[in-house]
Chains A and B, each alone.
Chain A
Amino acid sequence: MRDFWKRYCRNRGALIGLLILTLVILIAILAPLLFPQSPWKMVQRPFLPPFSQGDLLLGTDAVGRDVMAGLAHGAYVSLLVGLVSTIVALAIGVPIGASAGYFAGRVDDALMRFTEFFQTIPSFALAIVLLATFQPSLTFVIIAIAIVSWPPVARLVRGEVLSLRTREFIEAATLSGLGNLQIITRHILPNALPPIIVLASLMVAQAILLESSLSFLGLGDPNIMSWGYMIGAARTVIREQWWLSFIPGMAILLTVLALNLIGEGLNDALNPRLTRKSK
């Protein structure tokens, strides 16, 4: 563990990423305490520029809502959607990839055709279609994002399982009479974990981008304040009040950047041999 931390710290970008993400998480957790009022509530006259009033640090939007409060509550939504949809995507992708790699043959063929189908169809368009079909609620946004983002997981897990399957310790486990399920969950998957963790951290970043794009188009949960919604709502006044779009966009950019940097740091820390080779 200490080794892991030391290798992670060697990547300066990864440390900066961790710092930014910690800040975003803190803001998200403290949002209900710092801004107990609903972010939808009108607090002042509209279009108050940032830094013009002490208690409204980032000013107000087109209907007089506190931008800072929206930003804080939006942080919570972005992180929640990113995290939960990634977990759901892993729950779909890992079993599919593991079965394909472990059982090989026809099972592999069928499962990989299925995966390939989902990988070929334009994922953003599929997410739009899914959300247009069912009412856009937070749950459906998460499900739609998970449905379009699991294929890379399945492919990665399949590859890892394929290469681990023929190793001696797995043969030993088979000979000792363990069942397939136990071999996969206890012996193969733990060894395949490092690349899955790295991919998952990058998937959280992509899920946050996807969520913001969907809310920007008006396909988010209409009752939940999110960064994408804030930009979409400010789009009509972009010529005069450009900062109303600029501020939430910076929040998305920083959060996604932080997660990408963390992903690279994890990659360095978890695959030390790979890194040394490529340097």
Chain B
Amino acid sequence: MTRFILGRLVKSVFILLAILILNFFLIHAAPGDPAAVMAGEAGAADEKFLADLRAQFGLDQPLYVQLWIYLKGAVQLDLGFSFRQQMPVADLIWNRLPATLLLTGAAFVLSLVLGVIAGVAASARQGTWGDTVISTLALLFYATPLFWVALMAVVVFSVWLGWLPGFGFETIGAGYTGFARALDIGRHLILPATTLGLFFMAIYTRMTRASMLEVSRLDFVKTARAKGLRHGVIQRRHVLRNALLPVITLAGLQAGQVFGGAVLTETVFAWPGIGRLMFEAINQRDYNVILGVFFVSAAMVLLFNLITDVIYVFVDPRIRLTE
């Protein structure tokens, strides 16, 4: 078990290193002077800042020396300086990261729980109208652009019905503290987390349904039935537990996609996370910030994969046995 996780950790470090090297070459592949690229386009930076950048990254030295300087900085979590925001990129991201973790975490849990419930419900009613309704909804949400669902949710639930706030992280100037503040943030979280979760919920619903149907045809389920176990017990203890394995694998693989969706959702809802930060950086051509968010999101995905791996070890004892 420890060896398994250690192996995964080493692999993650190599992937992060490869991303840094990729970032480095992208800075150099971008048209124009690398210092100007890092400072952000549109003449935002002054000459002195460019000169500082050139000195700091050794831009007059051979490429491998530059790569070394870049990597050394990144390992110390120095992701460069945002000239636009007058702040180190690492600080910018650090301030915004909790909001993104809250949003993606909530969306992930919501999509997985509701997706599995819907999938089990559909498989239990295979062929009836209930199954058809669930499967059709899943098919629809799977084909819907995430940012569009988000916009429409704002129109319906915020503008027309006025039920939920469609904008921001909390009520500005309300001065809530403690529990009241948490409640306020929770209210703001409902729409973004639901819209971000819908697409993934559709995937998990389809997967759970197919997986449940497949497992329930296996021999050990017949045995359980022949033993005289009640239907509900068989579904819960025997079918569901085994049917969940491919769903967990898929959920782990999907971690990167959840972040991609977060960029879109945060943009629509003005959610102050790193996805929104990336959107602002795109508009301002703040290249260092774009690369920084890319790196941190990859690190997040790797961490997430690691967590699913650990969960998998606990859910599927066969992995522990082979170690």
A-B contact count (CB 8 A): 133
Contact with A along B153-186 (1 / 0, CB 8 A): 0110001000000000000000000000000000
Q: Is the CB of B282 within 8 A of A134?
A: no
Contact with B along A198-221 (1 / 0, CB 8 A): 000000010001001100111100
Task: Write the nearest CB–CB distance from B119 to chain A, whole angstroms.
Answer: 15
Alpha-carbon gap, A179 to B84, bound state (A): 58
Q: Is the CB of A278 within 8 A of B148?
A: no
Alpha-carbon gap, A123 to B263, bound state (A): 12
A239 interface contact, C-beta 8 A = yes
Q: Which of B140, B145, B301 is the one whose CB lies under 8 Å from A249?
A: B145
The residue on B at minimum CB distance from A122 is B256
**A132 and B285 in contact, given A209-B145, A260-B143 (Cβ under 8 angstroms):** yes
Q: Is the CB of A121 within 8 A of B144?
A: no
Task: Write the nearest CB–CB distance from B192 to chain A, whole angstroms.
Answer: 15
B214 interface contact, C-beta 8 A = yes
Task: Write the nearest CB–CB distance from B306 to chain A, whole angstroms.
Answer: 11
List residues 218-275 of chain A with CB under 8 A from any CB of chain B: 218-219, 228, 231, 235, 238-239, 242, 245-246, 249, 252-253, 256-257, 260-261
List residues 49-96 of chain A with CB under 8 A from any CB of chain B: none
A120 interface contact, C-beta 8 A = yes
**A238 and B145 in contact, given A128-B290, A129-B294 (Cβ under 8 angstroms):** no
B2 interface contact, C-beta 8 A = no
Q: Which of B159, B260, B279, B301: most chain A CB closer than 10 A?
A: B260
B283 interface contact, C-beta 8 A = yes
Q: Is the CB of A121 within 8 A of B290?
A: no
Residues of B within 8 A of A209 (CB): 143, 145
Q: Which of B213, B268, B301 is the one whose CB lies under 8 Å from A120?
A: B301
A133 interface contact, C-beta 8 A = yes
Q: Is the CB of B143 within 8 A of A125?
A: no
Q: Is the CB of B297 within 8 A of A218?
A: no
List residues 251-308 of chain B with CB under 8 A from any CB of chain A: 253, 256-257, 259-261, 263-264, 267-268, 278-279, 282-283, 285, 287, 290-291, 293-294, 297-298, 301-302, 305
B10 interface contact, C-beta 8 A = no
Alpha-carbon gap, A212 to B143, bound state (A): 12
The residue on A at minimum CB distance from B267 is A217
List residues 11-30 of chain B with CB under 8 A from any CB of chain A: 15, 18-19, 23, 26, 29-30
Q: Is the CB of A238 within 8 A of B301?
A: no
Q: Is the CB of A125 within 8 A of B148?
A: no
Q: Which of B147, B253, B263, B282: most chain A CB closer than 10 A?
A: B147
Q: Is the CB of A125 within 8 A of B298?
A: yes
Q: Is the CB of A122 within 8 A of B259?
A: yes
**A133 and B30 in contact, given A213-B146, A218-B282, A231-B151 (Cβ under 8 angstroms):** yes
Residues of A within 8 A of B50 (CB): none
The residue on B at minimum CB distance from A242 is B155
Closest 7 CB pairs of A and B: A124-B260, A249-B148, A122-B256, A257-B143, A256-B143, A242-B155, A133-B30
Residues of A participating in the B interface, judged by any CB pair closer than 8 Å: 13, 117, 119-126, 128-130, 132-135, 205, 209, 212-213, 216-219, 228, 231, 235, 238-239, 242, 245-246, 249, 252-253, 256-257, 260-261, 278
